């Protein structure tokens, strides 16, 4: 059963198109999907998953569990960077600032990994709750704050960079596209419920998996190129971190899920969130807040190593394990 | 025609707003921002399509102004380019309506 | 009933996503939807509404009423700029040229407002006619001519601008994307009828409302930023014009609709067309034909003030009032 | 019957939107669909047609005929450039290099023409096989090699161009977007079969015809502008070549189809492939491999002349003739 | 290498065709147009994404030519930039194949 | 400030990689590539949107470096621009951190 489930997840158009992109990039194909088109699709995906969660919440209502999972999510995004930072400092030769920046990525989340996970649950006919989307949105930012504390006192933080404007980091972190769209779409879905769903499901829900194929082809290309170009920047110990850190995160997420007594689907999603690493919001925030940290380290790790790992092997594993601990 | 200075700043996209703030504060009359598609430096090779976070992307700011105003902007821009990834260059140009710069 | 209808229109995903964009922009979020993606979606929307009108026309055929509504539409787009110009000159401090340019926008139409109005009618289960799309296309351009006459003799008009080529303004106005696509798609829908509809409805009709959500999120961002940046350029009297002028237009449209004895749906659409202001075709034409006019005035008015007003409060009001006068 | 079929193909939204674009461009409208959006749609179309072929293959399996058609396709793409080259050299004043470059375009294929042809077959309720997609992918590149041989020894080929890197042409030709996506999607469709189809058909199959309308509107604009700008570069004899060469190709394709005893649908598709000329992959390869050849010749011919011809008159003719020879 | 003039015109998108017409009529051998993403002037701050009408967008034209031809283009360009929003500047450059300009 | 050379190469997109290879081999510290939207030359008028193959599109490479390195790049770039469609120009600029070029 577990094997079947894992196999069906991996041999699905969604994952195979990701692998296609990955392989094409590693084979040095020049093909690409225009950036502006891919960014438009990304907005669509966030609207879709937000609406989906909102419609589901309008059916199921709120209870104490919702608050508990949200707190669990925030706790994970505060603790994981600490663990990641410690591991990086002890096992690799990364300096304090590079380690702090990389740690922030792992405390935050990848919404595409989350969406892929919800699809895998659908294929396995496992239910999950809409409010996990809210948890995902809440987990975007806290790790950034932790990382800034870990990075410690720096020149640029003390005197400031020329041209800096008040509140720009807060705006970047709290009002970036994924937070605004996820939370916004969740509220729209929640407020309009069944009537809203009838109006928009044929654009946002029915074709979702197909759109994800197109988007993951692009992400495969990006991950493959990131890996090919960034490879030399990573020592083996750093590269290994990109592979075991998601497992550490997933274990923490799974532990909390079992403590809270979450269902299989919710447990798998919380594990996925904990295991996933940001490659959009956090890198951007790091350029503002920790410009000394090297993108070649943190982007290669999160986009080139952890993202492909989660998408191909991680997700099926988390779903299977969630079945054991919560089933 | 009249002689002015043309400032060209290649700056990482995330620091673009900071650079624009500096230009505004220094009293430059205006600037125009161009997008870029790829680049290479000492530490990186990047292509717009390969970076979902846009955090490696660069932008090019062109600002034409009189020598004094450009001079005033340079100190702060220098500090910006020390903290952020960027390349700053200035050259002489001839313009037609000197009063507007 | 009227309240229910208005409430259902406002609390719909389409309108709420617009509000989300508006709020995000006013809160100074940096998020955006890539321009080239949004422009592609705009073409899709115009094809969809054109086809929809064409399919409907192929079912209902043409009669004298069609010609009457078309003439009414053109009349509105010739008269409204005169009223708008007079109001602006008497109540605000705008000069002749700025007033003429702004007036042109109100004589012309916003196709997105029109599409949103057709959706509101669908939710309220009110029928409307396909040929109103043709009326919309016919109302795009005439107001521009009126505005040029109102602007009066100017230097640039007399001697011409260097590099001007013969017919460029005519081409810009008569062959711009929205005229070509609306009229073209209408003809395609009309010519292919039921068979054509079966071939394309699952792309152009079924998901239309969802696509509109995505597009209006972008328009909300654009309107919010336009308002935030252009606010200072507008004195209170000018700003107020942006709020009452659509009501003046709608009143004229409603009057004509009741004179012609149009049904509720068609009356609501004609009111919407009269009330809406252009923010795509006319601004572009003004840059060619009246470069002295200030975009900060006319764009802020039409995009930042009138468009949000129509989309949130205007449309439900027009539908309700159309029910009174035509019901 | 033949007339009905041809008429229904031509008076379809897909073809009419192409004509709309063509006419708008020839009327010098300035409208356009953003390049990055159109390129994204092109990737979607290639994924869709690849998946469609793959799903079909997973149902029908492989047999000797599959290999035979593939070999036939490759043979066509090797022979057609020879014929095209001879015709161009004898009937026009083009030099060796320009003739070789143009010949390469006719040996290769246009995937959009192919997709339009599969749609025409669907409307006519004629079956066709999924592996024709593989044939299309196999026919992309061989003609390029033939053209380089026909172009003969040249300076740039002998000493190389500065900056040239090893294998760049091979990579460009063998790993370009259309080859990667077509073959990749075909394999994904084949591997995931019915289960995969259930997951993605509502994005990739159901709305396909509608998407094609949008794309062909853009292609009509491109073809019309190509024709308008390139017209002067083409002498009448060259222009005529763009009209009769597809018929020569279709005749060869039809001959082979009848030799192999293909069904009506497969015969029509093979004829279409033989008749169609590349305007994406080959022009790009020519810039690398034969930079001396003039794009104004080969692009105007393939995009401005042959593509519109095939899309409007060619395809219905090939379907009708395929009915005669294979029916 | 040989000395030529590099003309750079930042012009509102809607007037782009007019600018190109002028360059063609003045006998310049060619030009290249670049897109822009944002800008600020005395009367406006704009960003490409915020303007559905594209009527505030600017474009940058680069044209390299010999001094005489550039001079010939300047008068008409000056008139264009008086009517339309635009910034015009010229500088010296060295080129390799002087005959082609 | 210190004097450097600014190389600007307008080159057809398909030959972009070749141009970048040359810059890398010549030891230039970096370069930035900008996209273009339209252009006109002796043999062609093109617009990005009208060319599905992108084979007529141009790109602009900006590379700032010291005079010696730019000189080294010029010979190969000259050969490239002989085989491919392209326009190459060089001018003087002042930069702030001379050591990085
Ligand atoms: N000499 C240069 N000329 C033009 N652009 C440069 C130069 N050096 C660096 N850049 C740009 O700045 C980015 C970062 O450079 P670096 O900090 O050296 O890795 C590169 O990716 C280029 O886009
Ligand atoms: N000094 C300048 N340097 C570069 N670009 C400028 C300058 N002044 C204005 N611009 C550009 O021209 C546009 C209109 O300027 P303005 O007419 O001053 O509002 C601005 O949005 C900028 O894109
Ligand atoms: N003098 C010039 N200044 C700037 N760009 C040019 C110039 N000449 C040619 N170009 C560019 O190079 C392309 C090809 O030029 P050509 O080879 O002359 O047809 C044109 O489409 C322009 O984009
Ligand atoms: Na995480
Ligand atoms: Na109106
Ligand atoms: Na062919």
DSSP at B52? T
Which subunits have 3 or more CB–CB pairs within 8 Å of chain F? B, D, E
Could you read off the pLDDT of D281-326 as tens digits, one per residue? 999 999 999 999 999 999 999 999 999 999 999 999 999 999 999 8
Neighbours of chain A (3+ CB pairs under 8 A): B, C, D
Confidence of residue C232 (pLDDT cuts 50, 70, 90): confident
Given pLDDT bands bounded at 50, 70 and 90, which one contains residue C71?
very high
Q: How far, in Å, from the CA of F91 to the mean position of ligand 6?
A: 47
Q: Calculate how close chain C gets to A36, using CA atoms only, in Å.
A: 5
pLDDT of residue B6: 98
ipTM for the assembly: 0.97
Tell me whether residues D217 and C181 touch, CB distance under 8 A: yes
Sequence-ordered list of residues with C-beta below 8 angstroms from that of D132, at least 6 positions apart, any chain: D53, D69, D114, D266, D269, D270, D273
The confidence score (pLDDT) of residue A326 equals 86
- Kind and range of the H or E run holding D179: helix D177-204
How far is Cα E68 from Cα E90, in angstroms, rounded to an integer?
Answer: 13
Q: Could you read off the pLDDT of F8-47 as tens digits, one per residue?
A: 999 999 999 999 999 999 999 899 999 999 999 987 899 9
Q: What is the pLDDT of residue A174?
A: 87
Chains A and B touch (3+ CB pairs under 8 A): yes
What local confidence, expressed as pLDDT, does residue D158 receive? 66
Q: What is the residue-averaged pLDDT of chain F? A: 94
**pLDDT tens digits along A279-299:** 999 999 999 999 999 999 999
Ligand in nearest proximity to the CA of E69: 3
Among C37, C43, C98, C163, which would you mutate to test the E interface (most chain E Cβ atoms within 10 Å of its Cβ)? C163
Please give the backbone phi and psi of residue D131, each rounded to the nearest 5 degrees, phi first: -75, -5
pLDDT band at C1 (very low <50, low <70, confident <90, very high): low
Distance B30 CA to ligand 2 centre (A): 5
Query: Ligand 1 pocket test: which of B41, B42, B54, B85 has the largest number of ligand atoms within 8 Å of its C-beta?
Result: B41
pLDDT of residue A56: 96
- Contact of E100 with chain C, judged by CB distance below 8 Å, is answered with no
User: Mean of the pLDDT values across residues C44-61?
Assistant: 96
Please tell me the distance between residue A271's alpha carbon and the centre of ligand 4 in angstroms: 9
- Per-residue pLDDT for B51 more than 90? no
CA torsion angle for C189, C191, C196, C200 (degrees, to 10)? -30
Interface test with C, best of A34, A35, A43, A189 (most C CBs within 10 A): A43
State residue D1's pLDDT score. 63
Residue A172 pLDDT level (bands cut at 50, 70, 90): confident
Q: Cβ(A210)–Cβ(A74) under 8 Å?
A: no
Residue D2 has pLDDT above 90, yes or no: no
Taking CA atoms, what residue in A is nearest to C211?
A203
3-class DSSP assignment, residue D138: helix
Q: What is the pLDDT of residue C214?
A: 98
Q: What percent of chain C has pLDDT over 70?
A: 98
The DSSP code sequence of F37-92 is -EEE-SS-EEEGGG-TT-TT-EEEEEEEE-HHHHHHHHHHHHHHHHHS-EEEEEEE
Ligand 3 atom with the shortest distance to the CA of F38:
23
Mutation for testing the B interface, residue in F3, F94, F98 having most B CBs under 10 Å: F94
CA distance E99 to A164: 48
The residue whose C-alpha atom lies closest to atom 14 belonging to ligand 3 is F41
**pLDDT tens digit string along A35-65?**
999 999 999 999 999 999 999 999 998 888 9
Q: Is C47 part of the contact surface with chain D (CB cutoff 8 Å)?
A: yes
Main-chain phi, psi angles of F2, to 5 degrees: -130, 145
Q: What is the pLDDT of residues A62-95, one digit of tens each?
A: 888 999 999 999 999 999 999 999 999 999 999 9
Nearest alpha carbon, ligand 1 atom 8: F30
Reported confidence tier of residue E72, pLDDT bands at 50, 70, 90: very high
Tokens of C71: 């003439």
Strands B2-12 and B86-95: antiparallel
Question: Does ligand 1 lie within 6 Å of residue B89's CB atom?
Answer: no
Contact F37/E at CB under 8 A:
yes
Whether F73 contacts chain D with CB within 8 A: no
CA D237 to chain centre: 23
C3 CB-near residues (< 8 Å, 6+ apart) = none
pLDDT at B19: 97
F33: left (phi over 0), alpha (psi -120 to 50) or beta: beta
CA-based nearest distance F36→chain D, Å: 12
Stretch D106-113: mean pLDDT, rounded?
98
Among the bound ligands, the one closest to the CA of B6: 2
User: Average pLDDT of D252-259?
Assistant: 97
How many alpha carbons fall within 13 Å on the CB side of residue A251? Answer: 6
- Rounded to whole angstroms, the Cα distance separating C8 from C3 reads 8
Which tens digits make up the pLDDT trace of E5-55?
Answer: 999 999 999 999 999 999 999 999 899 999 999 999 987 899 999 888 888
Checking if the pLDDT of F51 tops 90, the result is no
Please provide the average confidence, as pLDDT, over all residues in chain A: 94
pLDDT of residue A201: 97
Please compute the mean of the pLDDT values over residues A169-197 and round it to a whole number: 93
Beta carbon of F41 within 6 Å of any ligand 3 atom: yes
Would the CB of B31 count as within 6 Å of ligand 2?
A: yes
**Which atom of ligand 2 approaches the CA of E38 most closely?**
23
Ligand nearest to the CA of C104: 5
Residue A264, pLDDT above cutoff 70: yes
Q: Residues of chain A with pLDDT > 70: what percent?
A: 98
* Site to substitute for ligand 2 among B9, B30, B63, most atoms within 8 A of C-beta: B30
- Eight-class DSSP state of E60: E
Which residues, listed in sequence order, are joined to residue C152 by a DSSP beta bridge? none
- The residue whose CA is least distant from atom 18 of ligand 1 is B41
Q: How far apart are CA D306 and CA D324, in angstroms?
A: 24
F88 lines ligand 3 (CB under 6 A): no
Q: Tell me, in angstroms, the distance from the centre of ligand 4 to residue A108's CA.
A: 5
Interior angle at CA D49, CA D44 and CA D55, nearest 5: 120
How far does CA D220 lie from the centroid of its chain? 15
What is the phi/psi pair of residue E28, to 5°? -60, 140
Cα(E60) to ligand 2 centroid in Å equals 11
**Which pLDDT score is estimated for C303?**
97
pLDDT at A182: 96
Cα–Cα dist D190/C100, whole Å:
62
DSSP E13-80: GGGHHHHHHHHHHTT---EEEEE--EEE-SS-EEEGGG-TT-TT-EEEEEEEE-HHHHHHHHHHHHHH
Tell me which chain F residues have a C-beta less than 8 angstroms from the C-beta of D161. Answer: 15, 18, 79-80, 83-84
Angle at C226 between CA C221 and CA C227, to 5 degrees: 100
Bigger pLDDT: D219 or D157? D219
Q: What is the CA radius of gyration of chain A?
A: 19
Instruction: Tell which atom from ligand 2 comes closest to the C-alpha of E42.
Output: 18
H/E stretch holding C119 reads helix C111-123
| Burial of F68: CB neighbours in 10 Å, binned 0-12, 13-18, 19+ | exposed
DSSP per-residue codes, C210-252: HHHHHHHHHHHHHHHHHHHHHGGG--HHHHHHHHHHHHHHHHH
pLDDT value of residue D244: 98
The pLDDT of residue D232 is 85
SS3 F31: strand
CB contact under 8 A, E58 and B32: yes
- CA angle, corner B12, sides to B11 and B13, nearest 5? 110
Q: What is the pLDDT of residue E100?
A: 82
Which one of C30, C105, C159, C162 makes the best mutation probe of the E interface by having the most chain E beta carbons within 10 Å? Answer: C162
E35 vs F35, F41, F91: nearest CB = F35
Residues linked to residue B54 through DSSP beta bridges, in sequence order: none
Q: Identify the bridge partners of residue E7 per DSSP, sorted by sequence position.
A: E63, E90
CA dist E73 and E61 (Å) reads 13
Judged against a pLDDT cut of 80, whether residue C327 lies above it is answered with: no
How many other CB atoms are found less than 10 A from the CB of residue D47?
27
Instruction: Give the closest-approach CA distance of C226 to chain D in angstroms.
Output: 23
E97 vs B22, which has greater pLDDT? Answer: B22
pLDDT attached to residue F100: 82
Residue nearest to atom 8 of ligand 2 (CA): B30
pLDDT at C155 over 80: no
pLDDT, tens digit, for every residue of C181-207? 999 999 999 999 999 999 999 999 999
Task: Express each pLDDT in C89-118 by its tens digit.
Answer: 999 999 999 999 999 999 999 999 999 999
- The Cα C101–Cα C96 span in angstroms is 9
Q: Measured between CB atoms, does B29 come within 8 Å of chain E?
A: yes
Distance from CA of C155 to the nearest CA of D (A): 27
What residues of chain E lie within 8 A of the CB of C283, using their CB? 53, 55
Q: Helix, strand, or coil here: C245? A: helix
Structure tokens at E63: 């044209």
pLDDT band with cut points at 50, 70 and 90 for residue A303: very high
Please determine, for residue B99, whether its predicted confidence score (pLDDT) is greater than 90. no
Can you give the pLDDT at residue A158? 67
pLDDT at A160 over 90: no
In the DSSP assignment, the letter for residue C206 is: T
Helical pair F16-25 and F67-83, crossing angle rounded to 10 deg: 150
């Amino acid at each position: 059963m577990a094997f079947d489930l894992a196999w069906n997840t991996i041999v699905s158009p969604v994952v195979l198109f990701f692998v296609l992109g990955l392989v094409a990039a590693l084979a040095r194909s020049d093909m690409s999907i225009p950036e502006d088109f891919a960014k438009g699709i990304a907005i669509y995906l966030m609207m879709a998953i937000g609406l989906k969660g909102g419609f589901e919440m309008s059916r199921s209502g709120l209870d104490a569990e919702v608050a508990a999972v949200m707190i669990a999510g925030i706790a994970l995004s505060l603790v994981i960077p600490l663990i990641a930072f410690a591991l990086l400092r002890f096992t690799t030769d990364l300096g304090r600032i590079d380690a702090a920046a990389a740690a922030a990525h792992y405390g935050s989340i990848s919404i595409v990994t989350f969406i892929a996970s919800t699809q895998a649950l659908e294929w396995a006919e496992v239910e999950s709750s809409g409010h996990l989307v809210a948890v995902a949105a809440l987990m975007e930012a806290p790790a950034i704050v932790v990382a800034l504390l870990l990075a410690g006192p720096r020149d640029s933080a003390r005197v400031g960079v020329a041209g800096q404007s008040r509140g720009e980091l807060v705006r970047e972190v709290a009002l970036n596209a994924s937070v605004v769209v996820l939370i916004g779409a969740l509220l729209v879905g929640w407020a309009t419920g069944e009537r809203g769903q009838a109006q928009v499901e044929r654009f946002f829900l029915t074709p979702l998996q197909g759109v994800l194929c197109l988007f993951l082809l692009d992400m495969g290309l990006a991950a493959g190129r990131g890996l090919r170009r960034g490879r030399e920047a990573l020592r083996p110990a750093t590269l290994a971190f990109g592979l075991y850190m998601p497992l550490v995160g997933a274990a923490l997420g799974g532990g909390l899920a079992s403590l809270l007594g979450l269902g299989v689907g919710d447990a798998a999603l919380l594990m996925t969130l904990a295991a996933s690493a940001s490659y959009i919001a956090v890198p951007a925030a790091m350029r503002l807040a920790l410009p000394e940290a090297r993108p070649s380290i943190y982007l290669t790790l999160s986009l080139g190593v952890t993202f492909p790992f989660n998408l191909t092997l991680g997700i099926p594993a988390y779903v299977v394990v969630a079945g054991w601990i919560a089933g | 025609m009249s002689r002015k200075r043309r400032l060209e700043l290649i700056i990482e996209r995330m620091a673009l707003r900071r650079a624009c703030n500096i230009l505004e504060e220094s009293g430059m009359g205006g600037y125009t921002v161009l997008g870029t598609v790829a680049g290479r430096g000492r530490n990186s090779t990047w292509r717009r399509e390969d970076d979902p976070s846009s955090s490696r992307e660069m932008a090019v700011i062109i600002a034409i102004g009189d020598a004094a105003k450009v001079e005033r902007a340079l100190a702060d821009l220098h500090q910006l380019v020390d903290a952020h990834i960027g390349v700053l260059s200035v050259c002489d140009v001839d313009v037609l309506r000197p009063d507007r710069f």
